[in-house]
Amino acid sequence: MFGERLHRARKAAGLSMSALASQVGVSANAIKKYEHGENMPSSGKLLKMAKALGVRTEYFFRPVKVEISGIEYRKRASTPQKILDRINGDVWEQAERWAELINLYPDTDTPVPAFMLPSTLPKQINDYEQLEDIAKEMRQAWQLGQNPIPDLVDTLESKGVMVITTKVEVNAKFDGLAGNMGKTPLIVISHHRPGDRQRFTLAHELGHLVVHGRLDSTLDEEKACNHFAGAFLFPDDAVKQHLGNKRNAIELQELYMLKHEFGLSMAGILHRALQCGIINEYRYKSYAIEFSKNRWKTTEPGSPYPKEETYLFKQLVYRALAEEYIGESKASELLGIALTQFHKERKLGESGATTH
């Protein structure tokens, strides 16, 4: 267990055995033996390793081990394996803390519901247009109506989807990943992406859960999930209500305001206008050319849509503390902060008012 955790933490930190050995004051061969379970470091070396890897010493001996299966990335093909290793290490570490926290709750106070899809979803999806109604069905089952979804992370978490935000810097090469932690769906988003990109990733990965095993063999699953994501974030009835049934042109300011209302990119809103028959293919292509010419595909004009955040884990740590399932030391360990900092946060001190 120790060797596996050390290997994962080293990969997550982007350090070679030699680089870690240099910081700890041992040989690269010693690090290799630690990782292979042949030797154990002294307490002093352990403290140095923890500092070099940016983890607490408790990380190496955490009693919970999780398995994440079915991992699928939303990334550029050029994303280096070194970056993926860092992301994987961060995700596994957060997922283990999640699992440990949930296991501390008694069965009578389970804080996270089981994920379930509506039983009314069709067994077969034969064309992409069907996804418009399926997105409506999901919204109706989750009592979301036709209005904008102000907090998509909270919505998914309340339905049993685990959402993790990774702060690993990836230079815009990674949007997110999805997998399963046991029976719980897991979606990971990048902290460094704008809110509209995060939300599309979340809705796209929800789309995979929805269409899995239902798509006709002639349909492309990625295209289907993109269609579902757009329809889930901005339903066709709402699109027509805000843009009208037919348009010859759409102002940039309209796209910008709708982006900040529905949390879908300006390019995504234009695509929804095309899908809903509000603009024709010629008009859509002319806008696409304009976006490309102005490099708006990378960074759209105006203020970015606010980033999505997840607060559920932190809330459940404090809930467990209040119910005396855990003490202050375990709470600070789960939150990954020093006990002195935890005391300040608990009392709503200066750091507690600003730290999330």
- Residue-wise pLDDT for 17-44, tens only, equals 999 999 999 999 999 999 999 999 999 9
Q: How far is CA 61 from CA 64, 125, 237, 279, 286, in A?
A: 9, 47, 53, 58, 58
Question: Which pLDDT score is estimated for 29?
Answer: 94
Question: Which pLDDT score is estimated for 226?
Answer: 96
Give the pLDDT band (50/70/90) at residue 354: very low
Domains of the chain, start order: 1-61 (1.10.260.40)
Work out the average pLDDT over 278-294. 97
- Report how far residue 34's alpha carbon sits from residue 37's, in angstroms, rounded to the nearest whole number: 5
Q: How far is CA 241 from CA 234, 236, 273, in A?
A: 11, 8, 11
Q: Residue 166 in 3-state DSSP?
A: strand
Residue-wise pLDDT tens digits, 114-134: 999 999 999 999 999 999 999
0.85 exceeded by pTM: yes
Q: Is the pLDDT of residue 4 over 50?
A: yes
- Report how far residue 90's alpha carbon sits from residue 83's, in angstroms, rounded to the nearest whole number: 11
Residue-wise pLDDT tens digits, 153-188: 999 999 999 999 998 877 777 888 899 998 899 999
Residue-wise pLDDT tens digits, 90-119: 898 899 999 999 999 998 898 999 999 999
Give the pLDDT band (50/70/90) at residue 355: very low
Give the pLDDT band (50/70/90) at residue 85: confident
Q: Is the pLDDT of residue 239 over 90?
A: yes
**Residue 92 near residue 11 (C-beta atoms within 8 A):** no
Average pLDDT, the chain: 92
* Residue 61, both tokens: 């001996």
Q: Is the pLDDT of residue 255 over 90?
A: yes
Question: Which pLDDT score is estimated for 77?
Answer: 65
Q: Is the pLDDT of residue 328 over 80?
A: yes
- Report how far residue 269's alpha carbon sits from residue 258's, in angstroms, rounded to the nearest whole number: 8
Question: Which pLDDT score is estimated for 350?
Answer: 55
* Residue 232, both tokens: 């889930």
Question: Which pLDDT score is estimated for 87?
Answer: 87
- Report how far residue 334's alpha carbon sits from residue 340's, in angstroms, rounded to the nearest whole number: 14
Q: What backbone torsions phi and psi does residue 215 show, to the nearest 5 degrees?
A: -75, 135
Work out the average pLDDT over 311-324. 96
- Report how far residue 266's alpha carbon sits from residue 3's, in angstroms, rounded to the nearest whole number: 47
